[in-house]
Structures are given as C-alpha cells and as structure tokens.
Amino acid sequence: MLAVSMTVNGRKVSREVEGRTLLVEFLREHLGLTGTHVGCDTSQCGACVVHVDGASAKACTLLAAQAEGTEVTTIEGLAKNGELHPVQAAFKEHHGLQCGFCTPGMVMSAVDLLKRNPDPSETEVREWLEGNLCRCTGYHNIVKAIRAAARAMAG
C-alpha cells in the first residue's frame, strides 16, 4: 500500500491505495466520484476523461500514484455554485447526449478543447473528439453543443 495525495475538485484528498490502482478507480471507488465512467478499460472510449493539472487525460491510463500532488478535476467539479459550466449547459440545451454514458468524458474533453481553441471549427471539434466514442449518436448534436458553448464562453 502507498499513500496518495492530490487535490480533487478543489479539495485535498489522501488515501492509502495499492500501487496498481488506476486513477479512475481511485476517483470512483475511493472518493465516490462516479461521474467519471469506465467504458472500455483499454483507453479507447474516453468515458473516463478528467483534467489533470488543467489538461484532459484518460483516467484509465494513469495510476493514482502518477497523479500524486496534481490537481484533478472531474465532471462533478465543473459546475460552480449550482450553475452548470457553459459546456454542460450547451450539451443540455442542444441535446448533446442520449444515454449519457459518454457525456462526462465528452464534456471534459470539450472544456479542454475550448480552453486551447476558443473558436474551433466543426472539423477541429470532430478531430479533437476522436478519442471519445459515443455509441448512440452521430455526433452532430455533440459538435453543435460544443460550438454553441464556444460562442457562449466568448460572450
């Protein structure tokens, strides 16, 4: 067992974990943050995307010990004071979800994209989301929601 400490959604946390504990496992099983989904266990689907020190990362590819000392943001940490993040609000408004399983990873990836590129084209959004799979939709409303969020965030 080893001690792991990090800041998750603005709160400092420490737990004893086995060395092989994945970050997604740490978040879900040790902290009860179940918004980060496990979809494939092979880093293909993107349902487990979180932000580590501000950049999107697949939590199924990182050990919890690798996140030692970092700042991790999960889907639960995006809304502030009961108000949805603009990307979350746009997904809701533009029906950017169906079953919702991929939604947390899509939203977290989109937030990172818009931080890097505040006005992405449809092609740029689709290319950015290549590591996030949705098994329900044709991505049309997801792309529409992300571009709407970009406009809302620009003012």
For the chain, the structural domain boundaries read 2-76, 86-154
Q: Which residue type sits at 153?
A: M
Whole-structure pTM value: 0.95
Local confidence pLDDT in tens for the 155 residues of the chain: 999 999 999 999 999 999 999 999 999 999 999 999 998 878 899 999 999 999 999 999 999 999 999 999 999 999 999 999 999 999 999 999 889 999 999 999 999 999 999 999 999 999 999 999 998 877 999 999 999 999 999 98
The pLDDT assigned to 68 comes to: 98
Sheet holding 71-73, edge to edge: 11-17, 2-8, 71-73, 49-52, 55-58
| pLDDT in the model for residue 155 | 86
Q: What is the CATH topology of the domain spanning 86-154?
A: DNA polymerase; domain 1 (1.10.150)
- Output the average pLDDT for the chain: 96
- pLDDT on residue 43: 87
User: What pLDDT, on a 0 to 100 scale, did the predictor assign at position 74?
Assistant: 98
Q: Which CATH architecture has domain 2-76?
A: Roll (3.10)
Using only C-alpha atoms, what is the Rg of the chain? 15
DSSP for the chain, please give it.
-EEEEEEETTEEEEEEE-TT-BHHHIIIIIT--TTS--S-SSS-S-TTEEEETTEEEETTSSBGGGGTT-EEE-GGGT-BTTB--HHHHHHHHTT--SS-SSHHHHHHHHHHHHHH-SS--HHHHHHHGGG---SSS-SHHHHHHHHHHHHHHH-
* The residue type at 27: L
State the number of CA atoms in the 13 A half-sphere of 41 facing the CB.
Answer: 2
pLDDT of residue 1: 94
pLDDT of residue 24: 98
How far is CA 111 from its chain centroid? Answer: 8
Residue 36 near residue 24 (C-beta atoms within 8 A): yes
Name the token pair of 153: 């965030």
